[in-house]
Structure 1
Amino acid sequence: MTATLQRPSTGAGNAVLKPHRQKPRRTVGDWILLIAVILVAALIAVPFLIILVNSFKSPSDYANGGPLSLPSNIYLDGIVNFWQRVNFPEKLWNSFFISGTVAVFAVIVSVFNAYAIGIGRVKGRVWVLVLFMIANTLPQEAMLYPLYFMFKQVGLYDNVWSVIIIFTVVQSAFGTYLLSAVFGTFPKEIIEAASLDGATRWQILLRVIVPISRPTLSVLLIFFFIWTWNEFLIPLTFLVSNANQTVPVAITALQGDRLMDVTTTSASALLGLIPTLIFFLIFQRTLTRGITVGSTK
């Protein structure tokens, strides 16, 4: 007796039914976590909403209804007054120039340092990393007088390059500590293969390590820019001239000893927030991709 194998028909009547995948049911813990995330997001969003509402509110509306009331009409004098009073385009350019230059220089210095420590395996690399970690924990107040005295002596006080040098060193300390750990896990086979092909150390760094580490470097670049943009104490101390001040320092010009225009101050905070928000939205995908690649590497 011979068995005959029949190929199943592919007609509509004999279509093979695929098992239906049921969506996982949410547990009580999932709902609690979701509610907690919504509450935290609301707490974060409330201050920004208050700034937004008060930026377009007249002083009389603020005096009558307080900070939580909606404006009776759109009031733009606060934004115009701040824009003209502090010469906001000039302050915006100073912040952009300082933050962008620091971000680029700090990433370059971090790559060179981490390449020597993480891959070059210099002697005493553990102690070097400890020094970089200690540098990250030093408060800015402890560095003010030594840095002030040093830049006074070299003639860079009240110069944007003094702030650029300071923040390049500070940010690269963190970048070196982070990239050293990343480069320390770099596959040695790739480096050895490049060496056998005749690549020099510079070529290995620029053509092998940097392209592979580009997502991590992009994340550092974005963080360094935002961190430097939001700095206040060191720019306030080292940039005393009005023409050299940054956006966070310019906002303090609206605060007096006895009186403070709340609506104009809110407008200044809004104008100071918009550039970093635009920068973050532009590079949001790059930041997400870099963090994802780093977590799955």
Structure 2
Amino acid sequence: MAAETQTVRVAAPAPVRSSDTDQRHHRGKARWFVLAAAVLVAVLMMVPFVIMVLNAFKSPQDYSQNGPLSWPTTLYTDGLQAFWERVNFPEKLINSIWISGAVAIFGTVLSLFSAYALGVGRVKGRMSIVTLFLLANMLPQEVLVYPLFQMAQKVGLGNNQWSVIIIFTVIQSAFGTYLLSSVLGTFPKALLEASALDGAGKWRTLWSVVFPVVWPTLSVLVIFFFIWTWNEFFIPLVMLTTNATQTIPVALASLQGDRMMDAPTTNAGALVSMVPAIIFFLLFQRTLTRGITAGAVK
């Protein structure tokens, strides 16, 4: 019996179009251009920080003779010590952590309650209320500070850190309500209907169904509220009138006199003041990244 022979045909590779090659080459050049632009922006953003570090370890004589852009001739650390002792930095650090942490927690909780009522509860006039929150968040602090100061004095919160906490809790929660109400406005109705069929009330639905879903967004709000409140200057300057209650940004301003400024001490104080915020950001960097990218994938 004669063996049957089979022929195997191998498909020839499709020819590469010149247009595809040009398109890949164009995309590669665009990526390198974007990378170069990002590196340039990063370098420009680091320039003020580098200048601050140089002047933080420079003596006043060296600063006055060689200017702010020169390399320090000696490692001068008296500026750090002077700032630490003059403003009582540990006390200011505790005040800033307490105020920023309280605002971050209270502001996030208040944002969740308000957004839950607007986004899931379907309050009448929802869009008007959200727009009002957005407009209130855009008001400059100079417009608000005088009536807020008078109100704090009348209710017995003059020179009290709780006045600053309450003010910034309301201010930060206005932005948080605007953001969360947009997220909860598109919340899956099937989950809400399923929880209602299981007999869950409003509070049970909030903590058992809504809260786990929006937790990444809430973690981002906590980090943002903490950093934003940490950097606040104007309202704490007006509300907190004694050294025992003031925050780090207000303490930094006290180093600058009416007619002269100790630049090395000021730069040393700014460097020390940045360290807690940088540590906080590094500790919660992964949480921030996960929270930002959580809504990108359905």
2:107 is matched by which residue type in structure 1? A
In 1, Cα distance between equivalents of 2:102 and 2:203: 23
Bigger Cα displacement from structure 2, 56-65 vs 101-110: 56-65
In 2, Cα distance between equivalents of 1:158 and 1:244: 7
Residue aligning to 2:290: 289
CA shift for structure 1 position 4: 11
Residue aligning to 2:58: 57
Residue aligning to 2:101: 100
| Secondary structure of residue in 2 paired with 1:27 | helix
Structural mapping, 1:44-193, within 5 Å:
44-193=45-194
Structure 1 residues not aligned, in runs of 5+:
6-21
2:192 is matched by which residue type in structure 1? I
CA shift for structure 1 position 191: 1.1
Residue aligning to 1:28: 29
2:183 is matched by which residue type in structure 1? V
CA shift for structure 1 position 2: 9.8
Question: Per the alignment, do residues 79 and 4 of structure 1 end up closer, same or farther by CA in structure 2, a change over 3 Å counting?
Answer: farther
Question: Per the alignment, do residues 181 and 4 of structure 1 end up closer, same or farther by CA in structure 2, a change over 3 Å counting?
Answer: farther
Residue aligning to 2:233: 232
TM-score (normalizing by structure 2)? 0.90
Bigger Cα displacement from structure 2, 193-202 vs 116-125: 193-202
In 2, Cα distance between equivalents of 1:295 and 1:274: 32
Residue aligning to 1:262: 263
CA shift for structure 1 position 196: 1.0
Bigger Cα displacement from structure 2, 29-38 vs 152-161: 29-38
Residue aligning to 1:280: 281
1:110 is matched by which residue type in structure 2? S
Structural mapping, 1:192-211, within 5 Å:
192-211=193-212
1:127 is matched by which residue type in structure 2? S
2:34 is matched by which residue type in structure 1? L
CA shift for structure 1 position 3: 8.3
In 2, Cα distance between equivalents of 1:294 and 1:283: 18
In 1, Cα distance between equivalents of 2:222 and 2:4: 69
Deviation per residue, 1:37-84 (Å, 9 max, x gap): 111111100101111111111112212321111212221100000000
Structure 2 residues not aligned, in runs of 5+:
7-20
Question: Per the alignment, do residues 59 and 115 of structure 1 end up closer, same or farther by CA in structure 2, a change over 3 Å counting?
Answer: same
Aligned residues: 280
Deviation per residue, 1:194-217 (Å, 9 max, x gap): 111121110110111111111100
CA shift for structure 1 position 27: 3.1
1:186 is matched by which residue type in structure 2? F
In 1, Cα distance between equivalents of 2:297 and 2:242: 47
1:29 is matched by which residue type in structure 2? A
Q: CA RMSD in A?
A: 1.8
In 2, Cα distance between equivalents of 1:237 and 1:211: 39
Deviation per residue, 1:170-213 (Å, 9 max, x gap): 00000000000000111010111111112111011011111111
In 1, Cα distance between equivalents of 2:294 and 2:251: 38
